[in-house]
Amino acid sequence: MALFRFKDSKTQDLSESLARETKRQFSQEELFQFAAYDPNAGERGGYSDYSYWRSTLRAFRKNRVAMFFLCVILATLLFTFLEPLLPYDREPNTIYYSEQVQMNLFTRQPILDEAGNPVVKVALAKDMRPGSEFWFGTNAIGQDLWSQIWSGTRNSLFIGFAVACVDALLGILMGVLWGYVRKLDFFFTELYNVFDNVPQTLVAIIISYILRPGMGTMIFAMCLTSWLATARFVRNQVVIIRDRDYNLASRCLGTPTRRIITKNLLPYLVSIITMRMALAIPAAINNEVFLTYISLGVPLETPTLGNLVEAGRKVMSEPLLRYQLFIPVIVLALITISFYIIGNAFADAADPKNHVN
Amino acid sequence: MAKYIGKRLLRSLLTLFLIMSIVFILLRQMPIEGYFQNFEKMSALQIKVGLQQLGLTDPLPVQLANFWKGVLTGDLGVSHKYRVGVDVLEIIAGKMPLSICIGMAALCISLLVGLPLGILMARSTRTRWKLGDKLGTVFVVVIQGVPAAIYYLLIQFYFSRLPGASMFFYMDQPTTWILPILSLSLGNTAYYAMWLRRYMVDESNKDYVTLARAKGVPTAAISRKHVFRNALVPLVQFIPTSVILTLMGSLYVESLYSIPGMGGLLVTAIQGQDNTLVQALVLIYAAISILGLLVGDLLMALMDPRITLGKKEGGR
């Protein structure tokens, strides 16, 4: 059982250093002495240059892993914009043709002409494996995957950021009001129930009938429902702390609601909210994958990670074509993992008790 | 408290009415082409007769009134697209038990694995190498990072070769139940582990925990009696919702293993414009999920006596 016992490293450190200190001999200067009476001491004011956000950033910067993943995200973001400037000039939506050796369908041998050379024909460059001509290969209709991936990542990140921003703004505002103001509790509970129970699929279908299908429509449809989860999440946290003694004291002293929310409630929730927000971006991207799965995604001429994953999923059973699935999934996973780790590290850094050391 | 519950239940009825009206009106906005399979070949008269049979020619308020009359008498109509002429309640009753079975099994596994995993991760953040935390984080990160559709597919692909497992689901072979249940439980396991770890780490930095540690309370007792109990409060609210989500089944898993459950029934019904089926499903889901939110709130108040839900002196 000794293996499963967790040694509390901090306690151990403390007791060790305490033991060391007590064994030591002290010189005269280190021992306590009575201070002389100083009449000016009472006039001295205290001053601390502690700033919450600066300390949070400092604690965050100490976390090497999180900084690395922050760089990964920034580099990916930058690269999706720089990618069209590379000397590799392939368009995401152009269908490419290439010279290919003709194969006999039955014998799987190249067809030879009279001179014994393989017959070369210009054909649709479909399902080409990654190579020097197409860096990430091509998809089932001959489009270049490299440029599709990067333009898809750009579009997906854009969708993710847009949805997460609306999510954060609406979700936190509604959530705090819902949780803190008791008179609004019933109203918001019922509002939540209404929005939550009208199926997202139905809303997405209707919106794509009324508006033109595309990225804007997609973002709008996702924003309509995504803030709900955040609002409920924040609301639960607020309900838990709203009757704590320090809030009661503030209320007794007549602090206005707005001030209680910004000074008492939100600072308490910073760590949890940042983690939630960091997960909101990948969640939006994954939601897009789901909408594409039930064929409500953006049109195919706008490549997104959702479209690419869905296209790759269809050729999954063919072992040679699995690169079409794995490349977008790896990019997607990298983005999600980075956001998760950054969010977690920031949440740790946002706790003021971790600022001291 | 009873007054609060009663009030909330009464208002829920109003909400339910509102939800159904919205869904009802939205469904009527769908294009009429969707109701017929060979719309191009039909004459205007045929279309009119067809719409009349579906009861779509009446003005909206009349249709809505008819629908509520039907609900009160327990008659939700028959499906006219998914399985033509079959009572929608019969369709749902035939599918729901299986989804509940699989979903509940998966949920039990996720709670039994996810919560201990979260505790383990949180406690190992105080050890020197943080090994448990790192391994757990890798698991959570992978599950969160890879879209569910993909890892379900990979699990089916690579694990179905194991003896006893199969690419498909058979009612009478218990071993074929394992893969779908395991795949379903992964997401929730990661979710519970991740948030329990977050709450427990936040909680164990509090002053009263430091005091308890300084007093010499054993670490295990601190994390069981103080940290875990406080950290579980925010999670408890989501457990009823998780139970309810099992009713809806999983679109991905059930289509992968061809399980005849609820998964995707709503999506299929909406896309096929099977209005009666959509209405019945939304009514059931909405009623249960409203109840779930209420139960979650009550559980939260039960876990933490400092939380009060009803009006109280001094509350705002």
Q: Which domains does chain B have, with CATH numbers?
A: 97-271 (1.10.3720.10)
Contact B79, B88 (CB under 8 A): yes
Interface contact A186-B252, CB threshold 8 A: no
Shortest alpha-carbon distance between residue A195 and chain B (Å): 8
**Looking at residue A6, what is its pLDDT?**
54
User: What does the pLDDT average to over A104-120?
Assistant: 70
Start-to-end CA distance of chain B, whole Å, equals: 17
Res B314: pLDDT: 46
Per-residue model confidence (pLDDT) at position B108: 94
Handedness of CA A73, A74, A77, A78 (dihedral sign): negative
Which of B15, B126, B307 lies nearest to residue A8, judging by beta carbons?
A: B126
**CB pair distance less than 8 Å for B126 and A9:** yes
pLDDT in tens, B108-137: 999 999 999 999 998 888 788 888 888 998
* Minimal Cβ distance to B147: which of A202, A289, A354: A289
H-run or E-run covering A339: helix A323-349
Left (φ > 0), alpha (ψ -120 to 50) or beta: where does B85 sit?
A: left
Burial of A21 per CB tally in 10 Å (0-12, 13-18, 19+): exposed
Position A124 scores a pLDDT of 67
pLDDT at A117 over 50: yes
A300: left (phi over 0), alpha (psi -120 to 50) or beta: alpha
**Beta carbons of B66 and B260 less than 8 angstroms apart:** no
Q: What DSSP character marks residue A113?
A: -
- What dihedral angle (degrees, nearest 10) is formed by the CA atoms of B146, B149, B150, B154? 130
Q: Write the CATH number for A274.
A: 1.10.3720.10
Q: Do B282 and A199 touch (CB under 8 A)?
A: yes
pTM over 0.80: no
pLDDT digits (tens, 9 = 90+) for B156-187: 888 887 777 777 788 778 888 888 899 989 98
Q: Which of A313, A228, A214 is nearest to B146 (CA)?
A: A313
Q: Chain B partners of A353 at a C-beta cutoff of 8 Å?
A: 205
Average of per-residue pLDDT across A53-71: 89
pLDDT value of residue A2: 46
- Residue B106's pLDDT band (boundaries 50, 70, 90)? very high
**How far from each other are the two terminal CA atoms of chain A, in whole angstroms?**
33
Q: Which residues of chain A lie closer than 8 angstroms to B31, CB-CB?
A: 209
Q: Where are the beta strands (DSSP E) in B88-245?
A: none
Between CA A279 and CA A274 the distance in angstroms is: 9
Q: Where is average pLDDT lowest: A139-143, B141-145, B161-165, B220-224?
A: A139-143
Q: Which residue of A has its CA nearest to B30?
A: A206
Residue A261 is assigned to a structural domain of this protein: yes
Q: Could you tell me which residues come within 8 angstroms of residue A26 by beta carbon, excluding any fewer than 6 positions away?
A: none
Residue at A63 is within a domain = yes
Residues 30-69 of B with CB under 8 A from A: 30-31
Q: Flag whether A9 is in a domain.
A: no
Higher pLDDT, residue A133 or A153: A153
Could you tell me if residue A15 is inside a domain? no
Give the Cβ contact number of residue B231 at 10 Å.
24
CB contact under 8 A, A336 and B140: no
Q: Is the pLDDT of residue A16 over 60?
A: yes
The answer to whether the Cβ–Cβ distance between B145 and A271 falls below 8 Å is: no
Instruction: Choose from A270-274, A283-287, B103-107, B174-178 the range with maximum mean pLDDT.
Output: B103-107
Q: State whether residue A211 sits within 8 Å of chain B by CB.
A: no
DSSP-derived pairing of the beta strands A97-101 and A120-124: antiparallel
**% pLDDT > 90, chain B:** 9
Q: What pLDDT, in 10s, does the model give residues B43-74?
A: 777 777 777 777 777 778 888 888 888 888 87
Task: Please say whether the beta carbons of A352 and B203 come within 8 A.
Answer: no
Site from A68, A236, A268 to mutate, B interface, most B CB atoms within 10 angstroms: A236
pLDDT digits (tens, 9 = 90+) for A312-328: 887 777 777 777 788 88
Axis-axis angle for helices B131-145, A323-349 (nearest 10) = 130
Asked if the structure places residue A13 within a domain, the reply is no
Average pLDDT over residues A70-97: 79
Q: Which residue has the tokens 């460059």?
A: A125
CA atoms in the 13 A half-sphere facing the CB of A59: 20
Whether A99 shows a pLDDT value over 70: the answer reads no
- What pLDDT score was predicted for residue A125? 64
Tell me: pLDDT of A129 over 50.
yes
- Establish if A100 belongs to a structural domain: no
Q: Which domain covers residue A184, as residue numbers? A: 52-88+136-354
A143 beta partners: A95
Contact A291, A306 (CB under 8 A): yes
A203 interface with B at CB cutoff 8 Å? yes
Tell me if A333 and B142 make a contact (CB, 8 A cut-off): yes
Tell me: pLDDT of A186 over 70: yes
Does A97 reside within a domain?
Answer: no
Question: What pLDDT, on the 0 to 100 scale, is given for residue B312?
Answer: 56
Chain A positions in Cβ-Cβ contact with residue B308 (cut-off 8 Å): 243
Q: Two tokens at A81?
A: 């914009």
B109 versus B260: the higher-pLDDT residue is B109
Give one DSSP letter per residue of A236-305, joined into a string.
Answer: HHHHHHTTSHHHHHHHHTT--HHHIIIIIIHHHHHHHHHHHHHHHHHHHHHHHHHHHHTT-S--TTS--H
Interchain contact, B270 vs A199, CB within 8 Å = yes
Single-letter code of the amino acid located at A86? L
In a domain, A158, yes or no: yes
Tell me which of A129-138, A164-173, A325-334 is least confident: A129-138
Lowest mean pLDDT among A232-246, B72-86, B122-136, B207-221: B72-86
Q: Is the pLDDT of residue A76 over 80?
A: yes
Which contacts of A134-141 are long-range, i.e. CB under 8 A and separated by 24 or more positions?
A134/A90, A134/A96, A135/A88, A136/A323, A136/A327, A137/A323, A137/A324, A138/A96, A139/A311, A139/A324, A140/A311, A140/A314, A140/A315, A140/A324, A141/A95
Residue B115: per-residue pLDDT: 93
Structural domains in chain A (count): 1
State the ipTM, two decimals: 0.77
For the residues of A294-312, what is the DSSP string, one character each?
TT-S--TTS--HHHHHHHH
Q: How confident is the model at residue A127 (pLDDT cuts 50, 70, 90)?
A: low
* pLDDT digits 0-9 by tens, A236-267: 888 888 888 888 899 889 888 889 888 888 88
